[in-house]
Structure 1
Amino acid sequence: MAVGDKESLLSLVYDQAIAARIPAPPTAETTTSAVDYLSRYFDPFLDLFTENEDLARAYFRALTRSRPENAALGTLRTLAENNLTTAMVNAGTPEAHARLGAHVMFSSYLGELMLLAAGTTDPRQTASRIRNTAAFITTQSRD
């Protein structure tokens, strides 16, 4: 029980499950477009959350009440934003735009996750909105 309370243990287990599902960013040689990578990046996480909705809601509650010693969300954010930035830079987006786009994608994901956990949307709608956000970001980064 070195992790502390039940919420910390739940966060640790979910964070490890999420980390195991993180897709590597495409390289310049791959055929995956930036919009496809950005829009599909969070699919494994959403799949994990839809596998057990009660646990997903408990995990989200734990994240929203996160204590400073539970830095998992910050670690996940850093990893996700770095991967998303890399994918956009490899697709030709200037790094400053790519970093901002990655931040917007992660924030969008958290918002969609909150809606999913609250039961006000379904995974199909969530995936569609994340794809629309990815398309918008990649379009804006070309300007």
Structure 2
Amino acid sequence: MIQYSASDRLNFKEYYDFLKRTDLGSQYPKENLEERVTKLLQNCSLSITARNEDNLLIGIGFGLTDFAYFLFITDLAVDRRYVGKGIGSKMMTLLLDEAGGKDDITVVTLSNEEAYNFYEKAGLTRDDGLFWKSCEVWTEHVVE
């Protein structure tokens, strides 16, 4: 049985442990990881979590939103052992509902190629018109 929550705030240790069990752990820069992730956990405007029957964190969805027009999904991940069980899709639905409803919110995200299929199945469209600038301090690594 999976429990979902829109009010579950995480601490760095629990989230770091979760990152080890997902592919999301390779998408954060190495520099000042604990400080930056702690800020993320404290300041994201929208947070959805999924926990298994043992209260283990198995899924997260983070977003920045104005709760009226736009939702930028910053992170959406599921523990590797639970991929393919509909948890990511459920978290996507909950993110949209919490942000204002699937028909009222424009959704934007940046994705690695491995997740393209997921986002396309969720109804998002790839578009070459997206502009972005990466931060300057970014050394690639994998959380292990």
Normalised to the residue count of structure 2, the TM-score between the two structures is: 0.29
Q: Which has the higher contact order (CA 8 A, sep 6+)?
A: 1
Structure ranking higher in strand proportion: 2
Normalised to the residue count of structure 1, the TM-score between the two structures is: 0.29
